[in-house]
């Protein structure tokens, strides 16, 4: 009866909004009693769409559950359905509502940047906002794919890959010159004209004009040979051979596909996988896989549409996207993507020819990665069942939090929390805690005081819905006692807690486990559960060390500059790029400081006075 009462209450709340809703297109949000977003939806007609939720008998059990949890709704009207689609995708990406089809949001895709400016152009790997002047080529499916292309470019075209500060401070060629990966423009080992030709050749290659480039190089080789410049002819021959080999390594070359993504979705045993291939300038830039969380009642077409909306929201869109299934609102989505990109974008479901073969290949890859994922998930579920048994957990855990500390004799102290789920590490949920407690810094660092501070800050204001199913501490009985003290003070003793300590001589495989009111115990060195718990502990340790190093690096390289009035993030960056180190800045004169972009006479004098 309670569930029915909640469902009726949810319907009543939704009905109260229907009365004042317009029939315009827009986006709606459904929120629970904690104001957490349950669902984000879009509609061509808001009133008509929301009315459908007042008839729960026509909804799936999952949607009925969502309606029963709804306590308030929010609405945004838009001018067009396309705007609503884009806003919905952006909100889903930022809010990750539990009842939407969700995709794990990875880091931004890498690009190759061919710089432009006062210095000879360089080739670099780039992520993030495209603020630096130059030509961007990508996106590449992975950093590995981008680095491989960079390696090819260095081998064939021999452009510099060093930073501006390194380039300005060179007085002799670096190793790249001697292993024939750079022509050393920094010390004038190549003329400006010849280097510019190298740059243009690299640009043509990245634009996919490889055949034209090869013809031109072949002609230049014949001319050099006829003029008896045999060394130059041999160099050009090597370039042509390297280009030919590169085309073979890159595999598929799709003529006419200047800008193209290939996306295929498959479902198997209640799970789904989306595979995407990137083609730019006719060349294959790699592939990436995604595993959406979705309602079993969702159709393949609905899941694929959700992916396309989510994937391209606020991102670079190619001119063509090949799909293995037609989308319910394909025309609207095409219009929205075209408006976002500033040029015509087409969504196509090919039925024959080379493009159909690409779709088939993407489907085949999606099936393979999904099959592998299912095996991995089955293995993971078994491990988690064993973890639940080992720590006497009432149910199969969905979230394990692992805590660790890192410091240098009490200085630059950090506590960290990592989160593990049955799907893997949830890196978005990781947290760092800069240790504030003074006593934790005394006597070389009080690990127990640090652990108490970290756990207190984590659980003091946390809602029950945010509690983990298991807390695992890196340490022994002392860390466990510190953790239990905090849990008792905060009244959350019901959260299972344990500690894992390294074995004698810090040997892996001889770890001891500490639980409340229980003697310490160890697992067999070959036990798969031990391997898994070691992996959790090691991930927390890696994250803690990384946080500590970042803080230490900041203290070493940035603290003095941060204390200078008028020096913000950009000026600090410009100074460090120009001089290379804080030590070099401290030894510079006013005239030298003024040479840095954005440093006036007054600021240069302030910097000089600070160090002197």
Question: In the chain, where does the domain assigned CATH 1.10.150.20 lie?
Answer: 558-611
Alpha-carbon distance values, 333 to 277, 299, 328, 359, 452 (Å)? 20, 17, 9, 20, 51
Quick one: which of 434, 427, 399 has its CA closest to 413? 434
Question: Is the whole model's pTM more than 0.85, yes or no?
Answer: no
The CATH architecture of the domain made up of 400-554 is 2-Layer Sandwich (3.30)
Residues lower than pLDDT 70 in the chain: 1-5, 82, 102-108, 242-258, 408-412, 437-445, 504-509, 548-559
How far apart (Å, rounded) are the C-alpha atoms in residues 4 and 559? 60
Dump pLDDT digits (tens) for 30-61. 999 888 899 998 888 899 989 999 988 888 77
**Pairing mode, strands 320-323 and 259-268:** parallel
The domain defined by 558-611 folds into DNA polymerase; domain 1 (1.10.150)
Give me the CATH code for the 259-371 domain, please. 3.30.420.340
CA dist 266 and 111 (Å) reads 28
pLDDT at res. 349: 95
CA-based torsion, 191, 118, 144, 139: positive or negative: negative
* pLDDT at site 498: 94
Tell me if residue 77 falls in helix, strand or coil.
Answer: strand
Contacts of 512 (CB under 8 A, 6+ apart): 476, 500, 501, 503, 520, 521, 522
Angle CA 571–574–579, to nearest 5 = 125
3-state class (DSSP) for residue 226:
helix
| Numbered ranges of CATH 3.40.1440.10 in the chain | 2-95
d(C-alpha 176, C-alpha 521), whole Å? 54
Say which CATH architecture domain 2-95 belongs to: 3-Layer(aba) Sandwich (3.40)
User: Which segments of the chain belong to CATH 3.30.420.340?
Assistant: 259-371, 400-554
Distances (CA, A) of 312 to 84, 86, 261, 577, 588: 14, 9, 11, 34, 47
pLDDT number for residue 393: 93
443-479 tens-digit pLDDT: 445 788 889 999 999 998 887 877 899 999 998 999 9
Report how far residue 218's alpha carbon sits from residue 222's, in angstroms, rounded to the nearest whole number.
Answer: 6
At 5 the pLDDT is: 63
Cα→Cα distances 582→133, 166, 215, 573, 586, Å: 26, 15, 50, 11, 6
Answer whether 511's CB lies under 8 Å from 500's CB.
yes
What pLDDT is attached to residue 408?
65
């Amino acid at each position: 009866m309670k569930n029915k009462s909640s469902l009726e209450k949810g319907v009543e709340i939704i009905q109260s909004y229907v009365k004042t809703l317009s029939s315009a297109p827009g986006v709606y949000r459904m929120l629970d009693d904690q104001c957490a977003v349950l669902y984000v939806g879009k509609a061509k007609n808001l009133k008509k769409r929301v009315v459908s939720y007042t008839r729960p008998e026509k909804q799936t059990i999952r949607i009925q559950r969502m309606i029963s949890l709804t306590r308030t709704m929010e609405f945004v009207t838009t001018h067009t359905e396309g705007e609503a689609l884009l806003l919905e995708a952006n909100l889903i990406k930022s809010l990750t509502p539990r009842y939407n089809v969700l995709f794990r949001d990875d880091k931004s895709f890498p690009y190759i940047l061919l710089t432009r400016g006062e210095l000879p152009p360089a080739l670099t790997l780039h992520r993030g906002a495209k603020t630096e002047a130059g030509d961007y080529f990508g996106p590449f499916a992975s950093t590995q794919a981008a680095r491989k292309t960079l390696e090819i470019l260095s081998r064939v075209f021999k452009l510099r890959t060093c930073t501006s500060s390194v380039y300005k401070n060179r007085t002799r060629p670096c190793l790249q010159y001697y292993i024939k990966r750079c022509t050393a423009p920094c010390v004038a080992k190549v003329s400006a004209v010849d280097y510019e030709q190298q740059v243009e050749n690299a640009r043509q290659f990245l634009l996919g004009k490889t055949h034209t480039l090869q013809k031109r190089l072949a002609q230049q080789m014949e001319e050099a040979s006829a003029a008896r410049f045999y060394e130059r002819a041999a160099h050009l021959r090597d370039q042509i051979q390297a280009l030919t080999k590169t085309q073979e390594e890159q595999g598929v070359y799709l003529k006419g596909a200047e800008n193209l993504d290939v996306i295929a979705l498959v479902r198997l045993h209640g799970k789904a996988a989306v595979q995407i291939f990137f083609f730019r300038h006719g060349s294959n830039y790699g592939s990436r896989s995604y595993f959406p969380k979705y309602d079993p009642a969702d159709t393949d077409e609905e899941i694929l549409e959700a992916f396309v909306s989510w994937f391209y929201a606020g991102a670079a869109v190619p001119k063509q996207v090949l799909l293995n299934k037609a989308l319910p609102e394909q025309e609207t989505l095409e219009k929205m993507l075209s408006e976002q990109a500033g040029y015509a974008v087409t969504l196509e479901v090919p039925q024959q020819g080379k493009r159909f073969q690409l779709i088939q290949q993407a489907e085949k890859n999606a099936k393979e990665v999904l099959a592998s994922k299912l095996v991995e998930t089955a293995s993971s579920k078994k491990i988690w069942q064993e973890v639940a048994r080992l720590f006497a957990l009432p149910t199969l855990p969905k979230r394990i939090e692992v805590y660790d500390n890192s410091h240098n004799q009490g200085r630059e102290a950090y506590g960290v929390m990592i989160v593990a789920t049955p799907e893997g590490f949830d890196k978005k949920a990781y947290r760092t805690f800069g240790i504030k407690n003074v006593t934790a810094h005394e006597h070389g660092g009080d690990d127990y005081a640090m652990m108490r501070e970290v756990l207190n800050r984590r659980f003091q204001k946390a809602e029950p819905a945010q509690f983990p199913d298991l807390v695992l501490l890196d340490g022994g009985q002392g860390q466990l006692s510190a953790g239990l003290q905090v849990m008792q003070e905060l009244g959350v003793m019901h959260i299972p807690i344990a500690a894992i300590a390294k074995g004698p001589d810090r040997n892996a495989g001889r770890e001891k486990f500490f639980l409340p009111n229980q003697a310490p115990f160890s697992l067999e060195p070959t036990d798969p559960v031990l391997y898994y718990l070691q992996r959790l502990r090691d991930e927390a340790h890696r994250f803690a060390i990384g946080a500590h190093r970042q803080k230490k690096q900041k203290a070493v390289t940035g603290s003095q500059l941060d204390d200078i009035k008028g020096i913000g993030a950009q000026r600090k960056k410009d100074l460090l790029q120009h001089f290379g180190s804080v030590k070099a800045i401290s030894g510079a004169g006013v005239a030298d400081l003024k040479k840095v972009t954005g440093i006036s006479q007054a600021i240069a004098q302030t910097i000089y006075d600070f160090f002197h």
